[in-house]
Structure 1
Amino acid sequence: MKGRLGTLTALYVTQYLGVGFITVGLTAILRDGGTSLDTLALLQIVGLIWPIKFLWAPILDRYGSRHRGHYRSWLLVLQSALVLALLALLPFASPADALGPIVAICAAYVFFSATQDIAVDAVAVRMLAESARGTGNGIQVAASYLGNLLGGGACVLVYDQFGWASAIGLLVAMTAVGLVVVWRFREPPRTDRVARIGTAYRALRSVVGQPGGRWWTVGVEPLDYVGAGMAYALVTPALVDAGWSLGRIGVVTGVVTSAPAIVAGLVAGLGVGRFGRGGVLVAGGLALTVSTLLLLPLMNGQAPLGGTVAALCCFMVAYTIANVVLYTVNMDYSRPDTGGTDFTVLSSFGLVCSFVASSIGLAAAERVGYPAVAVAAIVLVAAGVVLGLAHQRRFPHRPSPTAGLPVGRSTPDAAVERPAADGAKAVA
């Protein structure tokens, strides 16, 4: 199991390196070169590829090489594509003067990264033991912040000292580690039934048809993600209104807050195994409530450096804890033969909720002010926690006897994990 977790760690981290560079590092480099904020906003739009990746997730569940490994065959191509996309950035030493090619390459990279995420999630669904799912999803969430820290922080420092080629070279070298991991990875042979393409696409809908699936997907997840997303959407404009420079905002929100979030992801993952889904869900909800209250001085225009950084770190820690448990339950609902599709649908819905929440939060703040929206966010998160606990009591997680076994030893019926029937005792 340690070897499996190590493989997943390397793949999750390397897929987020370029994303962190694009959203944080490249944005700072382009701004330093005089690129307008409107143009930078267009660069951020490429991130919309991630929420719609469920559209092609069934293709990865259906097609794959039995000789090289069903999902490993995809990972070999996609991890190589990530490296090549980053190498394609090397000729553009003055990225502000080549925005067209830069944006196109970044869009291609994000597409490859999102698709690689489908394959890695599918491997995690099939290979992680029940007791390791919390840890696996803690690693996944922590990896996104580590990608920000390395891709958005370390690469910018290298760029500032040694130039564009050195920064991209470092990014390529770190991403290539994932390619080495994939080459060494030996996916157990898949002897169970591979879902047909029609079945794989029907999984887009049937995944929420499992016991408690709709309750979780259209109830618990939206409340938590909309509440947390509304609060976080206020942070950047509130910092600007409080007089912070764009440089300080970028460093604090993209780099400084990533370090405690990485630790929180790993600790929360272990906590899921120790205290159960419900226990960590409550901890995340309480932490989000307290940390959002700590942001109220910022929402009222008071933003001293020390206190504001501490409040933002607390918020990111709380948001990370909530994310880990939400992802873990999503994996509980993911079935081995359509694992890529199932997990992608559920996690993408959370991403969509976050995007919508950002718009709702900012629009509402224009009319009623930052503090009122922050309080509304707390209420939504609290409602999500209450609904989540009720969900766990009625549809608790029930370990599958074949979870975590080599893929070749599982069967389509025995390996499909389904929440327990109504009235069962809550795990938490």
Structure 2
Amino acid sequence: MPRAGDAMVLSGLWAAYIAQSVIGGLTWGGLPAVLRDQGLPLDRIGLLSLLIAPWALKFLWSPRIEGWRIRPGRSPRTAQVILWTGTVAVAGLILSGWLGLVPLLPVLACLMVVAIATSTADIAVDGHAVGVLARRQHGWGNAAQVGGAYVGSAIGGGLLLVLTAAMGWQGAVWALAALVAALLGWFALTARNAPPAPWNGAEPSLRRALSRLEIRKGLWLAGSFVLAQKFALGMFGPFLIDQGLPLVTVGLLSGFGSLVLGLTGAVIGGASVRRFGVHATLLAALAVQGLCMAGLMLGAAGGIPVPVLAGICLLSGSALLSFGFTALYAQFMRWSDQAQGGVDFTLFQCMDGGLSMAIGTIAGFLAQQAGYGTLFGTALTLGLISGMALVWRRSAITTPAG
């Protein structure tokens, strides 16, 4: 377990990552359902995908943010960045609630400002984590990162619907805005007394990041692991629907079930990183993922009960995903330079996010044209290739336990 002295730092990280994911869950999880319930056409709801752009492109302005946040030999200005960006994000949420959902474009404009502010805050939070967490804390820090994402997404995507039904869009969004403000405020308090940044005359930059071997290894690792773990992820819901499960059942499973399993997987992943190291944890995630893909491939051909298939989808898409990505992000943290942690870590995240968007389209096309069996078989093959690459390049990942 984390030491008592680390509790303040870790609680702040949990608060920040939950707050950011509340906004993400509201935008991509809860809002589409609210819009459809009000009768908006699917093509307009599809415009919400534009709000992903700041998260995919934030690496472009990450050097500017880190250059202002980090002051060599002095305490970083993380709290100031969070207070400013958090104020913009909360104000945008309040304005979104006041405007209402019709017409949609003004609300999208507000939410785009919120997305830019939140993705910018994420640069500072990740840089703060790289700077303040000791190596022994990386597993717990990334458990907060991944677990907080599951908790926040459940609040923004699930609780939003409950609140909207009870008090309308305005009251629901304002309630979540108050929650986000409280969480970011707590993080700012915990970040005020961060240790001085190491002295380094070089300005944070993308060129400096990409010149480091660790960053190039991290981008390779991100691409390999994301392909293996996320290739079939977006098709789990449609697969279960086609197996005969009602929509409401799939929603409950993916909502409440993934919250519990995702959070559990993140915590266990953090403990595994500390006890066994990153390399062993990544291999374990890939091995069990391979078994899950093999089971789903067989299930697509028939003969496996639907409840078993649903359990496999939950295990793979929630517990294993959070377990593996906790280890992956711990390694990213180790490879990030404290003098520009937000830049380095952001590059890894953008590789993850950009590739995830691309493979979702490919997976849907493959499932449509060749069937679910081919989809899951391809995911199994990618996992085997990724696992063999990890074994072959074990020396590239320095992962002593602790």
Change (3 A) 1:323 1:188: closer
Match of 2:276 in 1: 275
How far the C-alpha of 1:244 sits from its partner, in A, is 5.3
How far the C-alpha of 1:249 sits from its partner, in A, is 4.3
The secondary structure found in structure 2 opposite 1:34 is: coil
Change (3 A) 1:86 1:302: farther
Match of 1:75 in 2: 82
Match of 1:350 in 2: 352
Whether the 8 Å CA contact 2:78–2:188 is kept in 1: the answer is no
Match of 1:410 in 2: none
Change (3 A) 1:23 1:303: farther
User: Are positions 1:192 and 2:198 aligned together?
Assistant: yes
C-alpha separation between the residues in 1 aligned to 2:36 and 2:377? 33
Q: Deviations over 1:265-301 (max 9, x none)?
A: 1111111001111221122112212222343466458
Whether the 8 Å CA contact 1:61–1:195 is kept in 2: the answer is no
The secondary structure found in structure 2 opposite 1:89 is: helix
Percent of aligned positions that are identical? 24
Whether the 8 Å CA contact 1:195–1:337 is kept in 2: the answer is no
Q: Deviations over 1:145-193 (max 9, x none)?
A: 1111111111211211222233113201210112321442323353533
Whether the 8 Å CA contact 2:336–2:344 is kept in 1: the answer is yes
- Amino acid across the alignment from 1:63: W
Segment of structure 1 superposing worse, 333-342 or 361-370? 361-370
Whether the 8 Å CA contact 1:276–1:427 is kept in 2: the answer is yes
C-alpha separation between the residues in 1 aligned to 2:184 and 2:367? 45
Match of 2:175 in 1: 170
C-alpha separation between the residues in 2 aligned to 1:144 and 1:325? 15
How far the C-alpha of 1:237 sits from its partner, in A, is 3.3
Match of 1:381 in 2: 383
How far the C-alpha of 1:258 sits from its partner, in A, is 2.2
The secondary structure found in structure 2 opposite 1:367 is: helix
How far the C-alpha of 1:240 sits from its partner, in A, is 4.5
Task: Point out 4+ residue stretches in structure 1 off by more than 6 angstroms.
Answer: 301-305
- Amino acid across the alignment from 2:236: V
User: Are positions 1:328 and 2:330 aligned together?
Assistant: yes
Change (3 A) 1:44 1:247: farther
TM-score w.r.t. structure 2 length?
A: 0.89
**1:390 equivalent among 389, 392, 397:** 392
Q: What does residue range 296-375 of structure 1 map to in structure 2 within 5 Å?
A: 296=297, 299-300=300-301, 306-315=307-316, 316-375=318-377
C-alpha separation between the residues in 2 aligned to 1:333 and 1:183? 25
- Amino acid across the alignment from 1:55: L
- Amino acid across the alignment from 2:33: A
The secondary structure found in structure 2 opposite 1:350 is: helix
Match of 1:155 in 2: 160
- Amino acid across the alignment from 2:91: L
C-alpha separation between the residues in 2 aligned to 1:87 and 1:367? 44
C-alpha separation between the residues in 2 aligned to 1:53 and 1:83? 19
Q: Deviations over 1:36-94 (max 9, x none)?
A: 2222222123123212211111111111386884222211111222211111122134x
Change (3 A) 1:365 1:183: closer
User: Are positions 1:124 and 2:129 aligned together?
Assistant: yes
Whether the 8 Å CA contact 1:145–1:261 is kept in 2: the answer is yes
**1:51 equivalent among 43, 47, 56:** 56
Change (3 A) 1:28 1:250: farther
The secondary structure found in structure 2 opposite 1:91 is: helix
Match of 1:25 in 2: 30
- Amino acid across the alignment from 1:223: S
C-alpha separation between the residues in 1 aligned to 2:298 and 2:40? 32
- Amino acid across the alignment from 1:123: H
Whether the 8 Å CA contact 1:203–1:342 is kept in 2: the answer is no
Whether the 8 Å CA contact 2:300–2:373 is kept in 1: the answer is yes
Match of 1:403 in 2: none
Q: Deviations over 1:390-418 (max 9, x none)?
A: 33334424xxxxxxxxxxxxxxxxxxxxx
C-alpha separation between the residues in 1 aligned to 2:201 and 2:244? 55
Match of 1:92 in 2: 99
Match of 2:106 in 1: 101
Match of 2:253 in 1: 252
Change (3 A) 1:89 1:143: same
The secondary structure found in structure 2 opposite 1:256 is: helix
Match of 1:420 in 2: none
Change (3 A) 1:395 1:321: closer
How far the C-alpha of 1:102 sits from its partner, in A, is 1.6
C-alpha separation between the residues in 1 aligned to 2:240 and 2:353? 24
Match of 2:3 in 1: none
The secondary structure found in structure 1 opposite 2:389 is: helix
C-alpha separation between the residues in 1 aligned to 2:65 and 2:288? 37
- Amino acid across the alignment from 2:93: L
Change (3 A) 1:201 1:374: same
User: Are positions 1:16 and 2:17 aligned together?
Assistant: no
C-alpha separation between the residues in 1 aligned to 2:109 and 2:255? 23
TM-score w.r.t. structure 1 length?
A: 0.84
Whose helix fraction is larger, Structure 1's or Structure 2's?
A: 2
Matched residues, number? 393
Root-mean-square deviation (Å): 2.5
The secondary structure found in structure 1 opposite 2:336 is: coil
Listed as ranges, the gaps of 5+ residues in structure 1 are 398-425
Whether the 8 Å CA contact 2:56–2:354 is kept in 1: the answer is yes
